[in-house]
Amino acid sequence: MDTFTLASSLRTIVSGLSRRLRKTVHSVDSYSITEIHALSYLYHNDALSATELAKLLTVRTQSMSEILTRLKAAGLLDKTPSETDKRMSLITLTHLGRKMVEQTRYERDEWLAGAIDHTLTQHEKQVLQQAIAIMEKIRAHQ
């Protein structure tokens, strides 16, 4: 198999697996994928501005404002004025927001662990472990 075909196959599998994992998460059914990604970015960062989040999510600032309003109304995030620039607010997850992100991760991991246990042999699990290390090298490529 040539490299381009291999890359296309890998992309297709990774995308399909990602979609399948999103479907297993019922704790966020009422949220868009952009809202879920916003929560994830906030989980990995102490605080971000709306502009930073908009750039990370590649959405317009106006769209980001609507997303943040919805998530704040749901009690998932807080906005606090920046200490360095009073015109800007910093966005952080609330305790509820953090728990929600952790719950979605648990649900996805639980489904994936079950799928691995029920479909793979011990040898295939070892091959998968090796493949993960290889995929990490690809992900880290600049």
What pLDDT, in 10s, does the model give residues 44-91? 998 999 999 999 999 999 999 999 999 999 999 999 988 888 788 999
Query: For residue 8, how many C-alpha atoms fall within 13 Å in the half-sphere facing its CB?
Result: 5
Domains of the chain and CATH, by start: 24-139 (1.10.10.10)
Residues 52, 97, 63, 20, CA torsion sign: positive
Q: Model-level pTM greater than 0.85?
A: no
Give the span between the Cα atoms of 111 and 51, in whole angstroms: 34
Length of the chain: 142
DSSP, collapsed to helix, strand or coil, labels residue 80 as: strand
Alpha-carbon torsion angle 24, 25, 27, 31, nearest 10: -120
pLDDT over 90, % of the chain: 79
* Nearest one of 34, 89, 23 to 66, comparing CA atoms: 34
What pLDDT, in 10s, does the model give residues 21-46? 888 877 677 888 899 999 999 999 98
Residue 79's H or E segment, with its range, is strand 77-81
